[in-house]
Amino acid sequence: MALPVKLDSTSRTLADLGVSLPDRITALFADLRAEFDREAVGVRDESSWRVFRDAWLGRKSGVLTRVSDNWLKPATPALKRAVGAALNELRAHVEATVQARRTALDDLAAQVAAGRDRVDLSLPGVHRPVGSAHLITQTFREIERIFLSLGYSVVEGPEIETPYYNFEALNIPEHHPARDTMDTFYIAPPPVGAAPPGLLLRTHTSPMQIHTMETQQPPVRIIVPGKVYRRDNPDATHSFMFHQIEGLAVDTDITFCDFKGTIDYLVKQFFGPTVRTRLRPSYFPFTEPSAEVDASCTACDGAGCRVCKFSGWIELFGAGMVDPAVYGFVNYDAKRLSGFAFGLGIDRFAMLKYGMHDIQVLFQNDARFLRQFR
């Protein structure tokens, strides 16, 4: 490849090149300019632009510096004017073009970036599925709403309890047979032969009856939603963890009628206005009298079917009037006060309302099942 004219001619003086007449000057500069314009076209990115700029404008060894040093400075007085004028003209052209190439490159880069960042409004959006509350949470909220409308407050309590709150203060002393139905998980077993009690997972929400009455004077109207635990083997109707809502109302003039009316209102609100309730005698150490609340079968409306084992009734939950012995544990005046309490199984309520036969599906987290209850 032939040496470009700029490398060749500009490193020599005009005398060396044999130039002595002004008209040859014009041709020399025209060649340089043509070479420059050719190179300018080849500048495609920032790094080649830098090489290009330095080759022509570099102070030490750029083409224009060489022209100035080799052509202009040693030129004869006869040529100096023409060389100076031509050099100025070339310099103006080179500077303007180098700057223009830079501007063009910047514009191009901005265009490319804008194209990359452009939002395509025709693309499908990011689909974020909207979740919903678990059926158990929904059932909690529904029952809370019913009791809030009756003037009750919602309180929560610890899942880890002492035997005193879970049993003793509820009138279930250590060797009471009622403890057999409420075996639980012990977190800190009582040290052998020592007095301090262990910690256990509560078997019911009833301990909150005690906590509430210890800290609050009547009138008391509370419900307590929460998790409870029992040492049960899982099957269609048992789970080692399930959910309850405790209810407690204590005041100076609460009667069995209030108890019945409240229970009936709750059941009708939750299961529907045609559902009837009945009370069957039962036993809990912390209520007297105690009752098992039944509802007319939600599947057959009391006619008798497989769901209600052809009895027309379904057992719903345990309840009763607060046993005066319990007031003794919380320093309430048993002569002046009366009240009722109940413990609803939330899982059972949800299963009955929606016709489910296996409690385990509530805890398996299969979204296909859970999605049905949005």
3-state secondary structure of 113: helix
Element (H, E) at 317: strand 313-322
Contact yes or no for 25/19 (Cβ under 8 A): yes
* The only residue of 157, 163, 339, 343 in contact with ligand PHE, by rule CB under 6 A: 343
163 binds ligand PHE (CB under 6 A): no
Smallest gap, in angstroms, from Cβ of residue 246 to ligand PHE? 6
CB-nearer residue toward ligand PHE: 197 or 285: 285
DSSP 8-27: HHTTS-HHHHT--SHHHHHH
Residue 193 structure tokens: 């032969």
Beta-bridge partner residues of 246: 224, 343
Report the residue number whose CB is nearest to ligand PHE.
Answer: 343
342 binds ligand PHE (CB under 6 A): yes
Contact yes or no for 135/354 (Cβ under 8 A): yes
Tell me which residue of 154, 164, 273, 156 sits closest to 223, measured CA to CA: 154
Tell me the number of residues near ligand PHE by CB under 6 A.
10
CB-nearer residue toward ligand PHE: 225 or 302: 225
* The only residue of 207, 226, 285, 320 in contact with ligand PHE, by rule CB under 6 A: 320
Element (H, E) at 248: strand 241-251
225 binds ligand PHE (CB under 6 A): no
* The only residue of 204, 221, 243, 348 in contact with ligand PHE, by rule CB under 6 A: 204
Contact yes or no for 340/322 (Cβ under 8 A): yes
* The only residue of 341, 350, 352, 362 in contact with ligand PHE, by rule CB under 6 A: 341
CB-nearer residue toward ligand PHE: 238 or 371: 238
Residues 285-304 that bind ligand PHE (CB under 6 A): 287
**How far is residue 6's CA from residue 31's CA, in Å, rounded to a whole number?**
9
**Chain CA centroid to CA 41, Å:** 56
**Only segment of 25-33, 89-97, 272-280, 313-321 that touches ligand PHE (CB under 6 A):** 313-321
Smallest gap, in angstroms, from Cβ of residue 299 to ligand PHE? 24
Q: Which amino acid is at 70?
A: N
CB-nearer residue toward ligand PHE: 6 or 204: 204
The residue ranges that bind ligand PHE (CB under 6 A) are: 204, 206, 284, 287, 318-320, 341-343
